Structure 1
């Protein structure tokens, strides 16, 4: 068995954060947030119909994150290479100016990266997994390695909570509630489902999606023309804490990537 513990390893904050199943909510939150950047959302909607094969697409995204966090260094590098090759050939047009741009523009890649990792760590903290301020800074610093996999220079990626806040502050003037953002938000809230599961699946998904939306920063909810009341934050946090307790009580099986990572870590400890 390989003794390669990957980009992070068992002592990392990244391993501690991403072992939480409740972080599925963070992934949905990130998608709501990413859609507020006009070029980022244009790059998505102009390069495919998001309603087609949406569930396999979401599963591939989750698998990619799991591979980057828990896979070997080689597995993570290969996953990043596949993403870079896909992005390299994709172009889109600015909805306001008509200007063509690359989907792998570093400015857009940083936006996607930051919204993703900030969603993960903020949701984890609100689920009360015991993260200190120092842990959160360590997480952001660790995740610059993941940013490098998609082609970003790690030195240009926010590596602390303060840097992330500054990044959001600088980017907020670029954000808009466009028609594309509205369509993506509607899709995320009420996605297509197989007929045989829609009666149960739709209400369950709606509950998850509305909770994920409530976890957004107040300024993002206001851009979506939804209330940004402090009570919304309190209710969302209580819901996430409750969901974490329910999920962790279920006999949920960890994925193969996670189990293999734990086996490698145990083997290294035993030597």
Structure 2
């Protein structure tokens, strides 16, 4: 007896095959996303990223900040990938602060190690226990005792100088908040922007800065107040070249890094781009730079969301 397959049966079989293939493809994409996310996280947090995450986010102890606080929303967002580059470029424009980095930092010899230490500091002081945050701040204050010298013009610098520490804090917090405004997952209300600046002030004060801003308007004024002291020193231009033109990334990382690079530059104040001899954006378009940066941040957010799922 011959069995003839009806159109309905054939359609059902084809649908089953298509569904199975779709599920397999979806599973492969999810697996690839997760693998890339784990690689990115290890780059930023080190080979012991899982242990560090457990210690910072899940260890027992009182914390300064609640998950819904503005500082957690900003510092936990993928926009921080661009913001870190923006902050480094902006901070480099103070010749005394940049001289201290050039003379005492190993950012060229071990750029990933420096990035991991910086991201660890931000994560610990934002999400970690108060005890761990205070221990880390004490350690950094101890390291700063030996960071002294002179810049390219022979002017002395000391990493414990409250005025320089205030510059580093202001440039960093301004960069984080601006990149979140441009590339963040959610918009912050004016009140939440003020909350972010106020909540971030604690760490700046504990590191030795004085008269730190506590509102977004004060933050803008503080940044502009440093303008007479800023310049494109040889060390600043060298750092810009290293960060933007010769980054320590492999060919697989370069496409997304290029997107982030444009986003970081677009977030800088126009006067900072001028000092660093940078264009407003790809093809001279600032708007295009923002679009490109938003694409890079969204891509990283997409792969990291797979790790957190």
Query: Do they fold alike, i.e. is TM over 0.5?
Result: yes
Aligned CA-pair RMSD = 2.2
Query: In 2, distance between residues paired with 1:54 and 1:226?
Result: 22
| Change beyond 3 A, Cα 1:211–1:240 | closer
Matches within 5 A, 1:1-271: 2-4=60-62, 6-96=63-153, 98-128=154-184, 129-153=186-210, 156-191=211-246, 193=248, 198-228=250-280, 232-250=285-303, 251-253=305-307
| Contact 2:260 2:293 (C-alpha < 8 Å) held by counterparts | no
| Change beyond 3 A, Cα 1:50–1:19 | closer
| Change beyond 3 A, Cα 1:190–1:80 | same
| Contact 2:71 2:126 (C-alpha < 8 Å) held by counterparts | yes
The answer for the alignment partner of 2:12 in structure 1 is: none
Any unmatched runs of 5+ in structure 2? 1-58
| Change beyond 3 A, Cα 1:202–1:241 | closer
Query: Number of paired residues?
Result: 247
Any unmatched runs of 5+ in structure 1? 255-271
Q: Which has the higher contact order (CA 8 A, sep 6+)?
A: 1
Question: How far has the Cα of 1:80 moved from its partner?
Answer: 0.6
Task: Write the deviation string for residues 193-222 of structure 1: whole angstroms up to 9, x where unpaired.
Answer: 3xxx73323444333223211211111111
Q: TM-score, normalised by structure 2?
A: 0.74
Question: How far has the Cα of 1:234 moved from its partner?
Answer: 2.1
Task: Write the deviation string for residues 52-79 of structure 1: whole angstroms up to 9, x where unpaired.
Answer: 1111111111111000000011111011
| Secondary structure of 1:92 counterpart | strand
Query: In 2, distance between residues paired with 1:144 and 1:48?
Result: 24
Q: TM-score, normalised by structure 1?
A: 0.83
Query: In 2, distance between residues paired with 1:115 and 1:192?
Result: 21
